[in-house]
Amino acid sequence: MNGLPCRAGVEVLCIGTELLLGNIVNGNARWLAEELAALGVMHHRQEVVGDNRERLIEAVRQAAGRCRVLLTTGGLGPTPDDLTTEAIAAAFGAELEEREEIWAAIQARLQARGRPVAASNRKQALLPRGAEVLPNPVGTAPGMIWTPLPGFTVLTFPGVPRELRAMWQATAVPWLRRAGLASGVFASRMLRFWGVPESDLAEQVRDLLDLENPTVAPYAGEGEVKLRITARAADAPAAETLLAPVEAELRRRTGALCYGVDGDSLASVVLEALRRRGETLAVAESCTGGRLGAALAAVPGASEVFLGGVIAYANAVKQGLLGVPHDLLACHGAVSDPVAEAMAGGVRRVTGADWGVAVTGIAGPGGGSDAKPVGLVHIAVAGPDGCRSAPVHFGSGRERSWIQLLSVGESLNRLRLRLNNGGV
């Protein structure tokens, strides 16, 4: 009626050729998406553009016809390829002006850090006329809040995650609330599963996938499957109230397949179970080459219960450090249940751990045979109640690193089931 485009919601534009080339993972887009969801802000689109002025101008102009708010990350530094502010101004025919207060703050910040003040840093003090400064409390490059067209506002942030997050909490969140975009809240829960294909899990909960609020959606991860439950309500307690019965029903149906929630990992769940029991763990690895120990050591506080491990690739190391009998290796081969059991028992014995986990297999791409193909892995778990081992076939068509990753997950899951008085 008034000739203005009908705009809705928020879009995210991430800027940087390094993102397009895959040199770095675009964690900023994921983080912003989660933050917007937590605020109850409608978020319709994400886009990545390289450090190219004309393509950036075009992306901004197109967004201006679709959304109420455009959030950009990256391209606010002093180097020639930092084009964000310049391109956004050019998209609307606006001139840049130097803000003396910004330039003074940049100089003070650089001097306080003992860094030289270069002429190129002045570039960071340029903003379109009428733009509001979006302060950067932890870096030198400020962002801006600018409304170049009625009903369309741009908020710019640096690509450095630490700076983006500080600016978001200090300035952007209050602005979104004042603008009336943050209405209600989303709450979500991510249930994590191991040992079940995504299709099988989806079949078990098929009717729940049709819910409208909360919604339930399956996701495939790195060897695991996830179910995300998302609820929208007027406030956080109300959203949590909607989530609770759906989560309870999902857990009831899936039982021990569900190993954790949200930020849990198989390693963190296993370590917490050991901590509660007052018990310790050691590992012996052949085909995983230390990845099992690394997964455990990556969890903060792991040293309370994780004693260490042995990487025993060569048979001589299996014999010398873990005490695997030569006759056992000669009779069954390194990739076998008896050897896996001897490795698990050996690492438990030499470290004094309550539990020992061993993994030995053929990760490929070579080394397989008809009897023992690539992807065959034997996993043993030894504990106070005895030692048990069983093979798993991950398939010869998988990559070496993927077989190793699956072997780590399967090893931890078997220990988890034993600690919970179930499984093999």
User: CATH number for the domain including 142?
Assistant: 3.40.980.10
Residues 29 and 139 in one domain: yes
- The answer to whether residue 218 scores a pLDDT higher than 50 is yes
When pLDDT is averaged across residues 176-185 and rounded to a whole number, the result is 82
pLDDT band of 412, cuts 50, 70, 90: very high
Summarised one tens digit per residue, pLDDT across range 345-388 is 999 999 999 999 999 999 999 999 999 999 999 999 999 999 99
Written as one string, the DSSP assignment of 86-147 is HHHHHHTTPPEEE-HHHHHHHHHHHHHTT----GGGGGGGEEETTPEEE--SSSS--EEEEE
Query: 253 and 271 share a domain?
Result: no
Query: Does 217 reside within a domain?
Result: yes
Which residue matches tokens 């005490």?
A: 323
Whether residue 160 lies inside any domain: the answer is: yes
207 and 289 housed in the same domain:
no
- Domain boundary pick from 231, 261, 291: 261
Global pTM reads 0.75
Q: Is 304 exposed, middle or buried (0-12, 13-18, 19+ CB in 10 A)?
A: exposed
Total residue count of the chain as it appears in this document? 424
Same domain? For 126 and 204 the reply is: no
> Which element (helix H / strand E) includes 15?
strand 10-15
Residues 124 and 87 in one domain: yes
Q: Is pLDDT of 424 > 50? A: no
Residue 235's pLDDT is 85
Cross-strand pairs, 15: 49
The answer, yes or no, to whether residue 201 has pLDDT greater than 90, is yes
Q: How many domains does the chain have?
A: 3
pLDDT, tens digit, 9 for 90 and up, residues 101-143: 888 888 887 888 788 878 888 888 889 999 999 999 888 889 9
pLDDT reported for residue 423: 41
Q: Are residues 224 and 300 in the same domain?
A: no
Mean per-residue pLDDT, 301-316: 97
Residue 301 placed within a domain: yes
In this structure, are 281 and 385 located in the same domain?
yes
pLDDT of residue 335 exceeding 90, the answer is yes
Question: 396 and 326 in one domain?
Answer: yes
Q: In terms of domains, do 218 and 157 share one? A: no
- Residue 384 in domain: yes
Q: What is the CATH number of the domain that holds 399?
A: 3.90.950.20
Give the number of other Cβ atoms within 10 Å of residue 404's Cβ.
24
Distance CA 176, CA 36 (A): 10
> Can you give the pLDDT at residue 48?
97
Q: State both tokens at 305.
A: 């219960």
Q: Which of 318, 280, 295 is nearest to 411 (CA)?
A: 295
Task: List Cβ neighbours of 255 (8 Å cut-off, separation of 6 or more).
Answer: none
In whole angstroms, give the CA distance from residue 192 to residue 205: 14
Q: Is residue 424 part of a domain?
A: no
Residue 99 lies in a domain: yes
pLDDT tens, position by position, 246-272: 999 999 999 999 999 999 999 999 999
Residue 2 has pLDDT above 60, yes or no: no
* CA–CA separation, 87 and 64 (whole Å): 14
State whether residue 328 is helix, strand or coil.
helix
Q: Say whether both 130 and 215 belong to one domain.
A: no
Residue 66 has pLDDT above 80, yes or no: yes
How many whole angstroms separate alpha carbon 123 and alpha carbon 76?
9
pLDDT at 6 over 80: no
CA distance 161 to 82: 16
Residues 200 and 339 in one domain: no
Residue 4: per-residue pLDDT: 55
Range of the domain at 255: 185-261
Q: Return the number of other C-beta atoms located less than 10 Å from residue 196's C-beta.
A: 16
Q: Give the pLDDT of residue 234.
A: 85
Residue 2 lies in a domain: no
The CATH number covering residue 213 comes to: 3.30.70.2860
Residue that finishes a domain, picked among 261, 295, 325: 261
Checking if the pLDDT of 5 tops 70, the result is no
Report d(CA 156, CA 163) in Å as an integer: 12
Q: Is 194 helix (H, G, I), strand (E, B) or coil?
A: coil
Containing 376, the helix (H) or strand (E) segment is: strand 376-383
Assess if residue 3 is contained within a domain: no
285-299 pLDDT tens trace: 999 999 999 999 999
Closest CA to 327 of 340, 317, 338: 338
Residue 64 falls in which region: left (phi positive, over 0), alpha (psi -120 to 50) or beta: alpha
Among 152, 178, 204, which residue terminates a domain? Answer: 178
How much is the pLDDT for 188? 87
75 and 133 belong to one structural domain: yes
> How many helices and strands, by DSSP H and E, does the chain display?
15, 17
